[in-house]
Amino acid sequence: MDWEVVIGLEIHTQLATRSKIFSAASTTYGAAPNTQACAVDLGLPGVLPVLNGQAVRMAVRFGLAIDAEIARRSVFARKNYFYPDLPKGYQISQYELPVVGRGRVEIALDDGTTRTIGVTRAHLEEDAGKSLHEDFQGMTGIDLNRAGTPLLEIVSEPDMRSAREAVAYARKIHQIVRYIGISDGNMQEGSFRMDVNISIRHPGETRLGTRTELKNLNSFRFLERAVLYEVERQIDVVESGGAVVQETRLYDPDRDETRSMRSKEEANDYRYFPDPDLLPLVIDDDLIEAVRTELPELPDARRSRFQSEHGLSEYDAGVLTASRELADYFETVAEACGDAKLAANWVSGELAAALNKAGLDITASPVAAPDLGGLLKRILDNTISGKIAKQVFEAMWTGEGDADAVIEARGLKQITDTGAIEKIVDEVIAANPGQVEQYRGGKAKLFGFFVGQVMKATQGKANPQQVNALLKKKLG
Ligand code: ADP
Ligand code: MG
């Protein structure tokens, strides 16, 4: 039977403010447990929350980045539930009136086409504390440092039709929040957590099928595997005569399967009501326009510009705009050397491989962008060949100085003196009469042998074009 897969995502992204959403407590990650939750975060009697203006501006920035409606008036509500990591008994969130309304993002598919995915809403809320099950024998530890940390929950339309589309969408949101600087997107630290809702239906059917929800996925790989597993499970259930039950399930990456957590019958009744301690959030045009001027160039726009302005292929432009830091690095190299294509090749080739091998992010590159640009300039002005440049790059990587210093210290300057090269070519020809005869007798592939000999004699420093031309002339 044919099945259509329907997927919607809820993404919690932690906003990169210095203090909490309703208090002045710090949001720094990794502090000793329970040292960063204040009376407001704990909801102790007699305290009042004060909304963090920076968190609001970040939410608006996101709304503008996805071309969404920004609500002129939105409301904070209490979502009531009991859990050990939520001692005040409610989470402040937005319910009926979120700050960001309908928007959209474009995702690129494997076949080169794009699809638009709708964003239903994005709302501000506070995070809860954290239960720690691993460090304690027979007990659970509670760390309330995270309580009150600002989150933006981004809810999509059920617009995705495969695991790959779900991943492409999640990656796109991740890329956007990092580009616009509202979140570090660090998945290990829980700054970007995904809940995925999945259902199946027959193609052509307009009603949605019953969905299950998989909570708290913290990697794109787990997201993809969880969806693939869950789709198969639902198909098996339906095709063997059963029905999908609406429930929350947990994905277990160790076993690569999903398990039921709670069904709809046990679902919480959150008794939402407007928080009486907080006024409605009113946003005026001035604020929206001020935030608009802070927006950087967005990834899609930057990718097209890299194609039109720098002449890069769509693929290269995509790779080099993956993060804002990488795109900035590339543009600095391109500007420093004046050849965007050469810069693109080196940044996505030699440099990316070295970073990958060392497990480093572009921001931690031992070779700074202007220095890489300086190296490429020496290829372009024929001081060194591309091959020698790789040697120079390695030396720069290990801290031997900039390109000119390495070329000088190691004596790598290319030999472009035709007379000098000609002399070596003559010596090589004289020393290998047998090969010369075979070559002239039609064994054309021996040409590489002669090039190799000349390069060997010059430690790779002879200008390759000149070597080729001279050998052709003398052997021909
Ligand atoms: P809830 O209030 O339980 O969180 P929502 O209606 O807000 O439910 O939907 C949450 C997410 O689930 C949204 O991303 C939405 O697109 C998605 N979703 C809703 N119904 C379905 C369905 N039948 N199949 C797949 N995804 C769905
Ligand atoms: Mg939900």
Whole-structure pTM value? 0.88
What whole-number distance in Å separates Cα of residue 59 and Cα of residue 68?
11
Check if 158 has its Cβ closer than 6 Å to any atom of ligand 1: yes
Q: Is the CB of 173 under 6 A from ligand 1?
A: no
Select from 376, 300, 396, 305 the least CA-distant residue to 334.
376
Pairing of strands 247-252, 212-217: parallel
> Considering every ligand atom, which ligand is closest to the CA of 161?
1
Whether residue 157 has its Cβ less than 6 Å from ligand 1: yes
Cβ neighbours of residue 266 closer than 8 Å, sequence gap 6 or more: none
Condensed to tens digits (0 to 9), the pLDDT of residues 113-138 reads 899 999 999 999 999 999 988 888 88
* Across 419-441, average pLDDT: 92
The number of the ligand nearest the C-alpha atom of 160 reads: 1
| CA 170 – CA 173 distance, rounded (Å) | 5
- The best mutation among 11, 197, 212, 249 to test binding of ligand 1, ranked by most ligand atoms within 8 Å of the C-beta, falls on 197
Closest C-alpha residue for ligand 1 atom 3: 213
263, pLDDT greater than 80? no
pLDDT at 265: 58
Res 416: pLDDT:
81
To which residue do tokens 């809820």 refer? 10
Residue 267: pLDDT over 80: no
Quickly list DSSP for 283-315: --HHHHHHHHHH----HHHHHHHHHHHH---HH
Residue 160: what pLDDT? Answer: 98
Long-range contacts of 448-451 (CB under 8 A, 24+ apart): 450/425, 450/475
How do residues 181-196 score in pLDDT, each as one tens digit?
999 999 999 999 999 9
Inform me whether the pLDDT recorded for 465 exceeds 90. Answer: no
Is the pLDDT confidence value at 261 over 90?
no
Using CB atoms within 10 Å of the CB of residue 106, give its burial: 0 to 12 exposed, 13 to 18 middle, 19+ buried: middle
Amino acid 174 reads: H
CB within 8 Å of 467: residues ≥ 6 apart: 421, 425, 451, 454, 455
